[in-house]
Amino acid sequence: MQVLVLNGVNLDVLGRRDRQMYGGLSLNELETRLRERAEELTLTVRCRQTNSEGEYIGWIHDAYGDADAVIVNPGAWSHYSYAIHDALEILDVPIVEVHLSNVEEREEWRRHSVVADLMAKRVIGKGPEGYREALAYLAGRAG
């Protein structure tokens, strides 16, 4: 199973952001752990990160017909980008939304995800372990 992991805005500065909120791993360390966990589950992952909403949407378009599942962490775009929603809507594979912090317990504007209705699963507030949970969920769907 080919899993595309799309990390959005500001996730490139993991490790420098609030460690209690986001964990202490850098994006590179997070991606290394994801690849290791994916291998254990006999999955293949491709990780991408951008601070450009248009590029993020382009990668979603590229996933159509190319990925068997997608894990998304759009960051702040989750809360207002209907363009990302509309791009994800064309995918016919399971999509899992991951947030490192517990967005349900943060500022009011963070509590709403405009992509939530498209998700097979949402994992929030579990730090880097949330990605591992998302991979395990997808591996279980494949088996």
**Residue 24: helix, strand or coil by DSSP?**
coil
Q: Flag the least confident range among 12-16, 95-99, 133-137.
A: 12-16
Model-level pTM? 0.92
Buried b (16+ CB within 10 A) or exposed e, 42-64: ebebbbebbeebeebbebbeebe
The pLDDT, as a whole number, for residue 119 is 98
The pLDDT, as a whole number, for residue 13 is 87
Confidence band for 17, pLDDT divided at 50, 70 and 90: low
What angle, 0 to 180 degrees and rounded to 10, lies between the N-to-C axes of helices 27-40 and 129-142?
30
Provide the percentage of residues in the chain whose pLDDT is more than 90.
Answer: 76
**Contact of 75 with 10, CB cutoff 8 Å:** yes
Average pLDDT value over all residues in the chain: 91
Tell me the pLDDT tens digit for each residue of 105-119. 777 876 789 999 999
In terms of pLDDT, which residue wins out, 141 or 50? Answer: 50
Count CB neighbours of 23 within 10 A.
Answer: 20
Hey, which residues are catalytic here?
Answer: 22, 99
Tell me the pLDDT tens digit for each residue of 27-46. 999 999 999 999 999 999 99
pLDDT at residue 135 is higher than 70: yes
The pLDDT, as a whole number, for residue 137 is 98
